Structure 1
Amino acid sequence: MLRYVFHRLWQSALTLVLASVVIFLGVRALPGDPAVTMAGEQADPQTVAAVRAHLGLDRPLWAQYWEFLWHSVSGDFGHSIRTGSPVRAMIATTFPVTLQLAGYAMLIAVLTGVSGGVLAAVYRGRWPEWLANGVSLVAMSVPTFWLGLLGVLYLSVRLHWFPASGYVSPLHDPARGGYYLTLPALVLGLTHAAMLQRQTRSSMVETLTADFVRTARAKGLAPMTVVVRYGLRNSLIVVTTVIGLQLGLLIAGTVVTERIFALPGIGKLTLDSLFSRDYPVIEAVVLVIVASYILINLLVDLLYTVIDPRVRVAGRTR
């Protein structure tokens, strides 16, 4: 077991280092010059050169990358070119907002997606399955930004059920904070619930036709016991994998939703930094998102050993 854990940790660390190289080169390939942005369009070449030297952009790429990697490991991402604020403080302020939104949306996705998938699998070939598949198909086809705009137009402006924008921290006021996050979480959660519903249904259909499920039914066990204890439990590997992937996508894909609902999350910070060519902020934000995605996948892999004992045995024999 420990060998398996160390092996996954080593793979995750290597993936993060390779991702840092891609992030660094990708940011440097962006059009525009942050030195010109900081100095101003009308600045003379000497001023631009001085700003570039101050930012360290005149040094070789390998030296810039080494400094970026060293600062990332130490947790010091430098200062923003646009505001001069510490990048670590900016991320510490905005990232919790994105995590709260992603967690709330994931809760909605799991509750609706898993229940819809189980319902479609149990009533296979009947109207509940057709309804669940139809709703999931529509949810997967509608773009998130369009669903968000519809939510603002009908649920906020016309019906006044939810606020159209704004943010209140759930840590300070849980009821009001949850109220402000409900509509954007619904927009994100329903989109991801569609994929989770289809994967849950597919896995449940395969499990419910297995021999051990037929044996459980032949013993006279209650239908709900068969579905939950034997069907859903043995489908958790696939469901957990999809949940982990969807949660990583949620954290990385909140940019549009945060923009629509004016949430001060990491998505808004990313867009503002891209427009101003703020290299330190862009690099730090993307690296934090990638690290979060890698960490989620690592936790999902380790969770397999709890859900399925066969994975735990395989890990010990390596």
Structure 2
Amino acid sequence: MIRFALNKGLAALLMLWIVGTIVFAVLFVVPGDPAELLLTSDGAVASQESVESLRRQMGLDKPLITQYLDFLAGAARFDFGQSLIDHVPVGKTIALRLPRTIELILAGLFLGLITGIPAGTWAGLRPGRSFDRVVSAANAVLISVPGFVTGTLFIYLFAQVLRWLPAGGYVSFASDPLLHLKLLTLPAITVGLHLFSIIFRMTRASVLEMRTHDWVRTAVAKGLRRKLVVRRHVVRNALGPIVTVVGLQMGILLGSTVLIEFIYNWPGLSGYLVTAVQQRDYPSVRAVILVVSALFILINFMVEMLYSVLDPRIRL
């Protein structure tokens, strides 16, 4: 197990270095001088002094290898320089916004897991019955509706018509815990519904497959209780694909919650990335892409570790 973890950890570090190198190189793939492009993005005419000053601020006046080493060293210290728009350290802004996005994803994941796994298990154990048909039909509708459409409908129904919850915004948990949870409820349910549809389908398919294996029929033939067979031989073996798809969805959600954050005015990392791209804030764009990539790699590493615990054959 230790050797397996070390191999996967080294592979994750190698992948992170490759991603960092690609992120660094992207700035130089764009034709033209990045400093000049930034100063003339709105049609203004920039003087040579302004261009040279911005080049020095961005570190573009240094040799390429020096810029590359400085970038890697800064990334290792979580120091990505200052934003070119508001001159605030990028690392500080990411440290402020990233927990909000992670909180939203984890809240949605919790809702998706506590509903998707039981519903998928029940439907997989009783295929073709009323519960399976109704939930599968509802799931087909859910998976075909984009998250921003669901979010808009929720705002109209629960915030404007019923007035049960606020339409959007953000308040820190420390300042007002109850209001924070109210503001989190609708975005979390929107994310949770998307995850529910995926987790339900994967759980149902996995349970249906596991029911046909010889060890399940043998356990039933030996007279083991149904609940014990389901828990130990069906659900446990069905968790592998579920863990994999949940890990992938968490990584995808780190960059795809931008519309949900925008609809609910949730100040997370995805919205910050969109603003940085629109304003050509290169240090911020670099930093956010690198941080999201690092988190995606970390999530995949954790999924592989958990998968190896659920199925020891993976370690071989």
TM-score, scaled relative to structure 2: 0.91
Alignment map for 1:1-318 (pairs within 5 Å) = 1-29=1-29, 33-35=34-36, 37=38, 41-59=44-62, 61-312=64-315, 314=316
Deviation digits for residues 167-196 of structure 1 (CA, Å, limit 9, x no counterpart):
123355443322211101111111122111
Q: Whose relative contact order is higher, 1 or 2, with alpha carbons under 8 Å and at least 6 apart?
A: 1
Matched-pair contact (CA < 8 Å) for 1:20–1:287: yes
Indicate the larger mover: 61-70 or 91-100.
Answer: 61-70
The Cα shift of 1:287 comes to 0.7
Aligned partner letter, 2:13: A
C-alpha distance in structure 1 between counterparts of 2:154 and 2:35, whole Å: 37
Cα pair 2:240 2:311 within 8 Å, conserved: yes
Alpha-carbon offset, residue 216 of structure 1: 2.5
One-letter code of the match for 2:268?
A: G
Q: Which moved more, 1:93-102 or 1:160-169?
A: 160-169
CA apart distance, 1:71: 0.9
The worse-fitting range, judged by mean Cα deviation, of 126-135 and 262-271 is 126-135
Does the 8 A contact of 2:84 with 2:283 survive in 1? Answer: yes
- The alignment covers a number of residue pairs equal to 313
Partners of 1:135 and 1:28 in 2: CA distance: 48
- The 1:61–1:131 alpha-carbon spacing in structure 2 relative to 1, beyond 3 Å, is farther
Partners of 2:206 and 2:67 lie apart in 1 by 48
242-251 vs 4-13, greater mean Cα deviation? 242-251
Q: Does the aligned pair in 2 maintain the 1:114–1:200 contact within 8 Å?
A: yes
The question of whether the paired residues in 2 share the 8 Å contact of 1:304 and 1:311 is answered with yes
- Residues 90-128 of structure 1, C-alpha deviation per residue, up to 9 Å, x if partnerless? 111101101100100111111222122112201112222
Q: Could you tell me how far apart the structure 2 residues matched to 1:55 and 1:276 are?
A: 15
Deviates more, 1:244-253 or 1:214-223: 214-223
- Asked whether the 8 Å contact 2:83–2:281 carries over to 1, the reply is yes
Provide the C-alpha distance between the structure 2 equivalents of 1:15 and 1:284, rounded to a whole number of angstroms: 16
Q: Which amino acid aligns with 2:234?
A: G
Aligned sequence identity (%): 37
Q: CA RMSD in A?
A: 2.2
Distance 1:12 1:231 in 2: 31
CA contact 1:108–1:189 (8 Å) conserved in 2: yes
Distance in 2 between the 1:149 and 1:301 partners?
A: 36
Query: Structure 1 residue 308: deviation in Å?
Result: 2.6
- Amino acid of the structure 1 residue aligned with 2:255: A
Q: What displacement does 1:61 show?
A: 4.5
Q: Contact (CA 8 Å) 2:251, 2:295: kept in 1 or not?
A: yes
**CA distance in 2: counterparts of 1:116 and 1:270, whole angstroms:** 36
CA drift of 1:27 comes to 4.4
**In structure 2, what is the Cα distance between the partners aligned to 1:205 and 1:292?**
33
2:311 and 2:135 mapped to 1: Cα distance? Answer: 28
Could you state the TM-score of these two structures normalised by the residue count of structure 1?
0.90
Question: Structure 1: which 5+ runs fail to align?
Answer: none
| 1:310 CA displacement | 3.3
Deviation at 1:290, TM superposition (A): 0.7
Offset of residue 60 of structure 1: 5.2
Moved more, 87-96 or 206-215: 206-215
Letter in 2 for 1:242: V
